[in-house]
């Protein structure tokens, strides 16, 4: 009898817990930036089961069983999309070759890295994690969500094309080593790219010719398989490029082989903005507070986003962390606003435009009914240096809270934020906020 009562009680507790998780949560009173629509004063955001139920004004109908959170005076915007980062220690190709399309950042990233806490502190909820740019082709990138994770499979997000990453390419000085297997000139760099893509085209033709007859399929080639996905438009190329001639070479290769591409960095993009826009190629831009350190980036300009926007190109922002700290990506967009980019376009560049570049815009990048409940709560104007990210939510779960001493430590820095001993930051209130994000 006692055992039956105990089991019945346990069942009741579990049912109550599940029921509680299913309850909607309504955030009321904030200035909401949906991004795909006009800002909403005194807005209401309702989320449930990891998705957005509705977004609207003060008259939005709130479910009777909803948990209501008053955020009057705050600002809510979509979670930020970082289109180019190196968090988690990704590694791409090694010195064995300048072209490594078979290597995957997925296999090298540490999903428990404390670096991800910096991203959450900066309001970033979706990231394109890249291998480095020291190769013509460093390998496959991986798209991740800032969920709680122990293994990489917990982080990945599959996009509309059915893949969870792109292909990283680079030109300019980084891959020009002149050592065995690496190019020593820009001309040889492009020639080596072409040679591999021609092989991929031939491999693709053999697969198509085989059709449904598996006996006629060519022998599996791990180097060429992902490039066939690139040629089929399934996997986008993320192309590191700085100088105007390198940018134009990347565009030339894209046209020649018909692959989709996002240009990254483009320090001299302002010189060839019309050519970029005419080619219809999106641009992922890094905003540097203290330019310097690389000759080919000497003519970088904070006005580049505004120039490209005026020309008609789609733009987004990235950190290239650790070139720019993940905590300061929103601030980087503010620099672009100061240099002529409109606030509306800066907001899109932080969110929906980046989502489009990763083929994820059906799930993230804006606050719309049915989309993932990825959003951030700020203390004030997103583009004010005085505003702070107070909370970061990923798929309806609070992943960062500035009022939590542990989270705050990662937001503001300090030795203990990255030390093994973080016990003193635990507020011991039983909510399991002990730094294990």
Percent of the chain surpassing pLDDT 90? 86
* Token pair for 63: 């479910």
- Main-chain dihedrals φ then ψ at residue 379, nearest 5 degrees: -75, -20
The reported pLDDT for the residue numbered 414 is: 61
Tokens 């505003």 appear where? Answer: 387
DSSP state of 60: P
Location of each CATH 3.20.20.140 domain in the chain: 80-357
The reported pLDDT for the residue numbered 421 is: 52
Distance from C-alpha of 81 to C-alpha of 128, rounded to nearest angstrom: 8
Q: What band does 12 get if pLDDT is binned at 50, 70 and 90?
A: very low
Mean pLDDT in residue range 307-319: 98
The reported pLDDT for the residue numbered 22 is: 80
Tokens 């209130």 appear where? Answer: 429
Residue 122 contacts by C-beta under 8 Å, 6 or more apart in sequence? 80, 325, 326, 327, 328, 329, 330, 389
The reported pLDDT for the residue numbered 228 is: 98
DSSP state of 156: B
Tokens 């016990």 appear where? Answer: 423
Q: How far are the Cα atoms of 111, 169, 171, 411 from residue 106, in angstroms, in the given order?
A: 10, 16, 23, 26
Mean pLDDT in residue range 359-381: 98
The reported pLDDT for the residue numbered 124 is: 98
DSSP state of 292: -
Is the per-residue pLDDT at 319 higher than 60?
Answer: yes
Distance from C-alpha of 180 to C-alpha of 171, rounded to nearest angstrom: 17
The reported pLDDT for the residue numbered 10 is: 40
The reported pLDDT for the residue numbered 416 is: 57
CATH 3.40.630.10 fits 80-357, yes or no: no
Q: How far are the Cα atoms of 164, 170, 217, 326 from residue 323, in angstroms, in the given order?
A: 24, 17, 44, 9
Is the per-residue pLDDT at 267 higher than 90?
Answer: yes
Q: What band does 289 get if pLDDT is binned at 50, 70 and 90?
A: confident
137 exposed, middle or buried (CB, 10 Å; 0-12, 13-18, 19+)? buried
Percent of the chain surpassing pLDDT 70? 90
Better-scored residue on pLDDT, 15 or 311: 311
Residue 386, SS3 per DSSP: coil
Q: How far are the Cα atoms of 67, 174, 248, 265 from residue 296, in angstroms, in the given order?
A: 53, 10, 15, 11
- Main-chain dihedrals φ then ψ at residue 114, nearest 5 degrees: -65, -15
* Token pair for 407: 């989270």
* Token pair for 75: 């600002």
Is the per-residue pLDDT at 301 higher than 90?
Answer: yes
Do 338 and 302 meet the contact criterion of CB atoms below 8 Å apart? yes
Q: What CATH number does domain 2-78+372-425 carry, 2.30.40.10, 1.10.150.120, 3.40.50.300, 3.40.800.10?
A: 2.30.40.10
Better-scored residue on pLDDT, 13 or 206: 206
Is the per-residue pLDDT at 185 higher than 60?
Answer: yes
Mean pLDDT in residue range 117-129: 97
Q: What band does 418 get if pLDDT is binned at 50, 70 and 90?
A: low
Helix (H) or strand (E) holding 248: helix 244-257
What does the H/E/C string look like for 95-119? CCCCECCCCEHHHCCCCCCCHHHHH
The reported pLDDT for the residue numbered 7 is: 42
Location of each CATH 2.30.40.10 domain in the chain: 2-78+372-425
The reported pLDDT for the residue numbered 436 is: 34
Mean pLDDT in residue range 263-289: 97
How does pLDDT run across 65-104, given as a tens digit for each residue? Answer: 999 999 999 999 999 999 999 999 998 888 899 999 999 9
Mean pLDDT in residue range 140-169: 98
Nearest to residue 142, comparing CAs of 96, 95, 97, 87?
87
The reported pLDDT for the residue numbered 147 is: 98
Q: How far are the Cα atoms of 91, 164, 167, 190 from residue 224, in angstroms, in the given order?
A: 19, 17, 12, 18
DSSP state of 296: G
The reported pLDDT for the residue numbered 432 is: 37
Mean pLDDT in residue range 222-242: 98
* Token pair for 342: 């409109």
Q: What band does 214 get if pLDDT is binned at 50, 70 and 90?
A: very high
Do 247 and 276 meet the contact criterion of CB atoms below 8 Å apart? yes
Distance from C-alpha of 85 to C-alpha of 240, rounded to nearest angstrom: 12
This model's pTM is above 0.75: yes
């Amino acid at each position: 009898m006692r055992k039956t009562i105990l089991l019945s009680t346990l069942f009741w507790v579990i049912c109550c817990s599940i029921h509680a998780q299913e309850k909607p949560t309504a955030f009321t009173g904030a200035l909401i930036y949906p991004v795909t629509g006009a800002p909403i004063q005194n807005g209401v955001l309702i989320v449930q089961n990891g998705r957005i139920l509705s977004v609207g004004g003060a008259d939005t109908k709130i479910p009777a069983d909803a948990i209501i959170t008053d955020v009057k005076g705050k600002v809510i915007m979509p979670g930020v999309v970082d289109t180019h980062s190196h968090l988690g220690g990704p590694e791409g190709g090694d010195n064995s070759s300048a072209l490594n399309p078979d290597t995957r950042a997925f296999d090298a990233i540490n999903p428990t890295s404390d670096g991800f806490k910096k991203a959450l502190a900066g309001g970033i909820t979706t990231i394109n994690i890249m291998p480095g740019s020291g190769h013509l082709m460093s390998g496959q990138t991986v798209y991740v969500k800032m969920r709680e994770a122990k293994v990489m499979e917990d982080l990945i997000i599959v996009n509309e094309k059915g893949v969870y990453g792109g292909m990283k390419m680079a030109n300019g000085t980084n891959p020009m080593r002149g050592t065995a297997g690496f190019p020593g000139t820009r001309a040889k760099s492009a020639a080596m790219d072409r040679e591999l893509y021609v092989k991929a085209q031939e491999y693709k033709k053999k697969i198509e010719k085989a059709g449904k007859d598996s006996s006629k399929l060519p022998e599996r080639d791990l180097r060429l398989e992902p490039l066939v996905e690139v040629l089929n438009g399934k996997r986008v190329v993320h192309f590191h490029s700085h100088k105007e001639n390198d940018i134009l070479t990347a565009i030339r290769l894209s046209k020649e082989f018909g692959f989709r591409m996002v240009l990254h960095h483009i320090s001299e993009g302002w010189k060839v903005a019309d050519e970029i826009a005419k080619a219809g190629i999106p641009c992922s831009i890094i905003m540097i507070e203290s330019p310097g350190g690389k000759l080919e980036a000497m003519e970088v300009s904070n006005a580049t986003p505004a120039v490209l926007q005026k020309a008609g190109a789609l733009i987004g922002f990235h950190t290239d962390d650790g070139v720019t700290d993940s905590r300061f990506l929103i601030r980087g967009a503010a620099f672009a606003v100061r240099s002529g980019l409109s606030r509306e376009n800066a907001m899109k560049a932080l969110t929906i435009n980046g989502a489009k570049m990763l083929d994820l815009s059906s799930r993230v990048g804006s606050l719309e009914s049915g989309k993932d409940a990825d959003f951030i709560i700020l203390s004030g104007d997103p583009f004010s240096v005085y505003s702070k990210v107070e909370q970061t939510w990923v798929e309806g779960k609070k992943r960062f809270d500035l009022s939590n001493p542990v989270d705050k430590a990662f937001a503001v820095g300090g030795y203990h934020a990255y030390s093994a001993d973080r016990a003193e930051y635990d507020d011991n209130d039983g909510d399991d906020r002990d730094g294990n994000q």
